[in-house]
Amino acid sequence: MGKIVRPGSMLSQVLSSVFRKPATRLYPFVKIEVVDKFRGKLKHYKDRCNGCMLCMKDCPSNAIIIVKVADKEFKAVLSLDKCIFCGQCVDSCAKDALECTKDFELAHLDRKYLQVEI
């Protein structure tokens, strides 16, 4: 059985923590700096895409789908709820049509907003 701590002996610890600087950041109110190589939401350059679908084939979580819009014109649909933000699709794209951005605030309450055209 553990040692019983009396309220009087904890008083010094409580008072010292009141005047100490907080160890955490006030995140939603103070935005954080994102590092250069951060892998956030994907960006798709339609003009560079040739529809080879290598990004779609190499995605380990099947989160990206390439859809043909017109002759030599393609769009990418990303499922944010499936994507693990590994960057494999960016690495496998030979035409540099995909890019990782620094956007990481992607949470939604409704699942229909998690399927986005990038």
**Torsion sign, CA atoms 14, 20, 25, 28:** positive
Regions of the chain short of the pLDDT cut 70: 1-7
Q: State the pLDDT at residue 3.
A: 65
Q: 19-44: per-residue pLDDT in tens?
A: 888 778 788 888 888 888 899 999 99
Q: State the pLDDT at residue 11.
A: 79
CB 77 within 8 A of CB 64: yes
Q: What's the rounded Cα separation, in Å, for the pair 28 and 105?
A: 10
65 bridge partner residues: 77
Domains of the chain by start residue, with CATH: 33-117 (3.30.70.3270)
Q: State the pLDDT at residue 27.
A: 81
Q: What's the rounded Cα separation, in Å, for the pair 37 and 44?
A: 17
